Structure 1
């Protein structure tokens, strides 16, 4: 079974305005309220692709109640730890000529809350997959990713990590099954600027040498690169389409890759399905559906 962990989930309040003006009232012409968080997005897209998963993480307060209601409506099996203090954050995303985000701080997570999450992770074993992704609230220790991987070491769990900078590099010695930086995140790690797929390949190989088994690099309009555990390198341009909303595209790429690998056992097909899922989410105001992904793969 696939499990996802989102340490800092959110309610995403998405609005559009014709023009964003500071210091005055702005009237919206579109609004949407969605469950947010990278692992949660992965679980939603996996469900859309026909693969159940269980979403783990934390929630609190009235916004936590709303989050769990939205997850249930989306068909996600959520098993969140209920935190006593604070509330699930709200991330406001204002789309105008430029896109502006205002992200909440997150929960006040106590040591007993972490213990409760670990007890839920203790059921994982051989042939299970765990996706750990996104930021860590400042009330949690900075080595939360390593703590999870250390706890699951030796159990045969395939672990996928989608995080930035130190959160990602510090887990590489644990040999995660898959890491998915984008080209900007990969460049930040090595202090370079990576614009083309050919430029990405040697740095993805370096990340593999540091411990990652598979390195999937998403590159928005440039497509992506997969340096696979079997030694093969796959590259592809992006599908053609109009970007409507980039939020969740990288998470959709992870979900598509896992779905493709489970269905076919082929890294090449998994790579294509991952890119198609990422594009499908970017080309719509919702997360990728099966029909949208299959349409893009056929093209």
Structure 2
């Protein structure tokens, strides 16, 4: 079974106004509420591919109940730890050409709740896969990531990590199945200028450093430059399709979910990477998560380049 762990979920409230001014009542012309969180998005995208998962993490209050209900309404099983307080609501306001983003802290998570989550993860089997992604809530130390990676090593389940914390480096010795940094996150971990990775050979060398530390696979999101995959034997690059970018926040989640999902469904590595790159772009070109309908057309724009032990071919 696939599990997705979201420790700092949110309801994202999107509102649009003709004008948004201080000291007056501003009335919206559009509003939309979305259950959100990086691995919650992964569960939603896997479901769109016909792949089941169990969503876990921390939820609290009426907002937490809404998120759980939205997941279950979509047919996604849930196994969250209930916490005191209220799961956060983030607000995104669009008024003409102006945009405002208000991201809240959310509840503080007790040690008791954290121990309950670790206990749940400890019940996974060697046949399972766990996605851990996104920010950590108040009260939760980065050390929880290391605890989870150690459990993956002990039990043998596949761990997929998409976190910006420097603690990820210490998790690599536990040989996670896949990590998904952006090129900027990769640069920060290795203390280099992100512009260095305009040279693909420098990006390959950086990926090799993390593979040598224990990561089994890297999937690097590069925005408009496309995607890179590396596993120590092969390096694959894809270009990104062209389109009007509307929403970059969930594109990486879509990329990760559809890449791993495609591999689970038996697609070749090359086809999985092309499909995932198109799907991630599809989400970037829409206000919400992609419905995947335009992915076949976007795939036609993508060029794949393979590097096998230094031999480049297209």
**TM-score, with length taken from structure 2:** 0.87
1:89 paired with 2:88, answer yes
1:246 to 245, 248, 272: 248
How many residue pairs are counted as aligned between the two chains?
Answer: 297
Query: Which runs of 5 or more residues in structure 1 are unaligned?
Result: none
Structure 2 equivalent of residue 193 of structure 1: 194
- 1:85-109 per-residue CA deviation (whole Å, 9 max, x = no partner) reads 2110111123453543211112222
How far does the alpha carbon of each residue in 1:57-81 deviate from its partner, in whole angstroms, 9 at most, with x for none?
1111111111112222333222111
For residues 210-221 of structure 1, what are the structure 2 equivalents within 5 Å?
A: 210-221=213-224
8 Å CA contact retained: 1:16, 1:95: yes
Shift of 1:18: 4.9
Shift of 1:122: 2.6
Which runs of structure 1 show a deviation greater than 6 angstroms over 4 or more consecutive aligned residues?
none
Any residues of structure 2 matched to 1:108-187 within 5 Å, and which?
A: 108-187=108-187
- Give secondary structure in 2 for the equivalent of 1:172: helix
Q: Is the 8 A contact 1:48 1:288 kept in 2?
A: no
Three-state SS of the structure 2 residue aligned to 1:239 is coil
Contact 1:256 1:276 in 2 (8 A): no
What SS is found at the alignment partner of 1:164?
A: coil
Tell me the residue number matched to 1:263: 265
Distance 1:177 1:20, change over 3 A: farther
Cα distance in structure 1, aligned partners of 2:94 and 2:168: 29
- Give the TM-score taking structure 1 as reference length: 0.91
Equivalent residues of 2:142, 2:165 under 8 A apart: no
Q: What is the CA RMSD across the aligned residues, in angstroms?
A: 2.0
Task: For residue 24 of structure 1, report the CA deviation from its aligned partner.
Answer: 5.4
1:104 & 1:132 partners in 2: Cα distance? 21
C-alpha displacement of 1:241:
1.6
1:169-215 deviation line (CA, Å, top 9, x unaligned): 23122111111111111122222123536143222222222221111
Q: Bigger CA drift: 158-167 or 25-34?
A: 25-34
